[in-house]
């Protein structure tokens, strides 16, 4: 199992000194990149980003499909003529090569979010590139913003958790498979799927099991699950569920995601 808390990764000042970035996971075949921990195959990176107070993140594009999950603060995302307020628990979908800038609207406070990215397509050999852009530059593809608190949840994994799908394949994801908030009131079913996935422990504390190995988890942890490896999680708090933000990329990337529940602990 691979688990890291964002506090254990060193911040790097990037985007013309407008943003601190902590790279938590990166693709293992990007040997020319020295920032971050390289263990993933299809997920290009998972990073924690902090847009500094009183600064705008450098306007830029990336040749990756990206989703952002707002952890703290309130701010604005802008892309050409598009501009929208964003806040805690918002997810933001940004198609590849769409220009963007973000900034905080709370005095003296940063805008903090996780970034999940997949190259286009995920098996490309092209190294991701960040390009500085003019703020007025536009792209025909659009940014989407959704807040999981405002969306319906459904019973999932055999009734062992509640799942709120924020973004899914074709709605509007193209390469990433899903962004889902999973709320675990007790123990989620031991399951596996054809998806390279990460859990971000958003709230609570508990235990994660991956391929039989168990480790405690708490707010701020990122847990990595290789494709088709059995995993589950449970809360250790009587009065609070374990809320987990899940992001995954199917393997191969152009396949339909599938899931198998109720596995035995010997798998």
CB atoms under 10 Å from CB of 34, counted, come to 9
In this structure, what token pair is assigned to residue 225?
Answer: 């699950």
Residue pair 205/217 in contact (Cβ under 8 Å)? The answer is yes
Mean pLDDT by 10 residues, the chain (267 residues): 94 96 91 73 95 96 97 96 96 96 97 96 90 76 95 97 96 94 98 97 98 97 96 97 97 91 86
pLDDT value of residue 32: 64
CB atoms under 10 Å from CB of 209, counted, come to 18
Residue 125's contacts (CB-CB under 8 Å, 6 or more residues apart) are none
Residue 77's contacts (CB-CB under 8 Å, 6 or more residues apart) are 83, 84, 86, 92, 100, 101, 102, 143, 145
pTM attached to this predicted model: 0.95
Residue pair 234/188 in contact (Cβ under 8 Å)? The answer is yes
pLDDT value of residue 225: 95
At 98-149, the pLDDT tens digits run 999 999 999 999 999 999 999 999 989 888 999 998 766 667 789 999 999 9
Residue pair 167/188 in contact (Cβ under 8 Å)? The answer is no
Going along the chain from its start, the domains and CATH numbers come out as: 2-147 (2.60.120.10), 148-260 (2.60.120.10)
In this structure, what token pair is assigned to residue 93?
Answer: 């979908």
pLDDT value of residue 178: 95
Helices (H), the chain: none
């Amino acid at each position: 199992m691979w688990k890291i808390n964002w506090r254990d990764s060193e911040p790097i000042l990037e985007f013309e000194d407008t943003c601190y970035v902590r790279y938590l996971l990166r693709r293992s075949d990007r040997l020319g990149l020295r920032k971050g921990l390289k263990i993933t195959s299809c997920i290009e990176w998972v990073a924690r980003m902090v847009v500094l107070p009183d600064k705008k993140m450098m306007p830029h594009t990336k040749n990756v499909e990206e989703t952002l999950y707002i952890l703290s603060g309130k701010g604005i995302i802008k892309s050409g003529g598009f501009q929208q307020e964003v806040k805690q628990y918002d997810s933001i979908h940004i198609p590849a090569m769409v220009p963007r800038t973000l900034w905080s609207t709370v005095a003296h406070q940063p805008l903090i979010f996780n970034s999940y990215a997949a190259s286009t397509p995920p098996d490309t050999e092209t190294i991701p590139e960040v390009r500085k852009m003019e703020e007025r530059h536009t792209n025909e593809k659009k940014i989407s913003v959704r807040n999981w608190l405002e969306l319906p949840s459904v019973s999932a994994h055999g009734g062992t958790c509640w799942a709120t799908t924020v973004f899914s394949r074709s709605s509007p994801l193209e390469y990433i498979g899903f962004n889902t908030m999973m709320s675990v009131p007790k123990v989620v079913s031991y399951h596996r799927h054809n998806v390279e996935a990460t859990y971000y422990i958003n709230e609570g504390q508990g235990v994660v099991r991956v391929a039989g190995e168990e480790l405690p988890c708490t707010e701020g942890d990122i847990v990595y699950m290789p494709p088709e490896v059995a995993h589950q999680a449970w809360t250790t708090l009587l009065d609070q569920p374990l809320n987990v933000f899940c992001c995954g990329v199917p393997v191969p990337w152009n396949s339909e995601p599938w899931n198998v529940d109720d596995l035995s602990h010997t798998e």
